[in-house]
Amino acid sequence: MEAIRLLIAFAIYVRMTLYQMDVKSAFLNGIINEEVYVEQPPGFENEKAATHVFKLNKALYGLKQAPRAWYDKLSSFLIENDFVRGKVDSTLFRKEFKYDFIIVQIYVDDIIFGATNEQLCKEFSSMMQDEFKMSMMGELKFFLGLEVLRDATGMYLKQSKYIGDILRKCKMENASSCPTPMVIGKQFIAEGEKLQNPAMFRQAIGALQYLTNTRPDIGFSVNKLSQFMSSPTIDHWQGIKRILRYLQGTIHYFLHIKPSTDLDLTGFSDVDWATSVNDRKSMAGQCVFLGETLVSWSSKKQKVVSRSSTESEYRALADLAAEIAWTRSLLNELKLPLLRKPTLWCDNLSAKALASNPVMHARSKHIEIDVHYIRDQVLQNKIVIAYVPSTDQVADCLTKALTHTRFNQLRDKLGVTPSPTSLKGGIRNNIP
């Protein structure tokens, strides 16, 4: 989903309108190389050979080869028509003209595309409809369960209908709202009275994890509770209900993708050291901004126990550097080179020094070699590590539960905002 958010941010920057099309029965277009035989479907038997089986010439829904066969068919068609496939993102295609270009992003049978010249979009649509059975869906407004809206201040991604569905399935549609998704200082442990219907808990977690594609403000809470999927307790279910009550009060909040004239790439990483009472592992959070727009984020428990806060912050910086490198490579494929080196913001001076100084220290010599990737990036002058005070650390809300005031401040910085007046009622006004 990061690639989709980057594409939308890129489209706003170059003032490009994005369109959407859907391929009908996409998997039936794929050619399979393996020998696959199927029984004759009931009611459609060949009277002369009723006991025979059919050999497939093309893919069918249900075959494990079908998705790959469809991708190969579509990508081959685009490449034959002079599109260049991305090396970082193999679902991204670009075609250059003398003064213009067209971008195509595919996601199974859903296709997003846009061009710097509207005529190119019309030609691409005609080309695709001549080759495949497709339905043109107009401007990008609804994609993979995400509602896309636009006004003069940028584009907005939301999942209000999806939230409503979750609330109804969990019988929480009439619940009172609460100001934050988790109570500050709340500790969840593995022990406790087991939930009688653990499937309900797992379904709720799965739904909430998909919701984090547009709602980073619940990222920490959802990740924290997802650590108890195997044996959830009643206390864990109360944590789910707390998130749902928070969503009840913020059901119409958007992720704002803002226009920007200065597309610097910046990242924030933070860690709550040894926070897990079950195994003393740390919770790490990171977020990546392109200009003023949040394009990538994560909240997850680190895989190993860190012996100090510096060590855990250093590991988080290394993970952030890897995400920044991927984002930078994708921007290069979009032909959007950065004018300045990406800046990684950290609120731990010792971790900053460790990342910037390639010297072996007694307290850090045990750290895995792959974590020193961050040092290599600094030595190659590809990134800059900078200090940010803890009060301005945006990733703080991805590592722990916060007070109402602090949580609202950081939520605003992440770009999660209420519906603007121009979009209330679904009206699309003041389009640039």
Residue 422 has pLDDT above 70, yes or no: no
Q: At what angle do helices 234-249 and 219-226 cross, to 10 degrees?
A: 160
Reported as a pLDDT band with limits 50, 70 and 90, residue 361 is low
Asked if residues 28 and 58 have their Cβ atoms less than 8 Å apart, the reply is: yes
More confident residue, 194 or 351: 194
For the chain, which residues make up each domain, given as ranges?
Answer: 2-144, 168-252, 262-414
Instruction: Output the pLDDT for position 370.
Output: 62
DSSP conformational letter for 177: P
Q: At what angle do helices 309-333 and 349-356 cross, to 10 degrees?
A: 60
Instruction: Output the pLDDT for position 45.
Output: 83
Classify each residue of 341-373 as buried b or exposed e, where b means 16 or more C-beta atoms within 10 Å of its C-beta: bbbbbbbbebbbebbeeeeeeeebeebeeebbb
CB-CB neighbours of 201 under 10 Å: 23
Asked if residues 163 and 244 have their Cβ atoms less than 8 Å apart, the reply is: no
Residue 120 has pLDDT above 50, yes or no: yes
Q: What is the pLDDT of residues 46-88, one digit of tens each?
A: 888 888 898 898 999 989 999 999 999 999 999 999 999 999 9
Asked if residues 247 and 163 have their Cβ atoms less than 8 Å apart, the reply is: yes
Distance in angstroms (rounded) separating the CA atoms of residues 356 and 176: 49
Q: What is the pLDDT of residues 282-309, one digit of tens each?
A: 999 999 999 999 999 999 999 888 888 8
**How many distinct helices (H) and strands (E) make up the chain?**
11, 18
> Looking at the domain that runs over 262-414, which CATH code has it been given?
3.30.420.10
Amino acid identity for residue 322 in this structure: A
pTM for the whole structure:
0.88
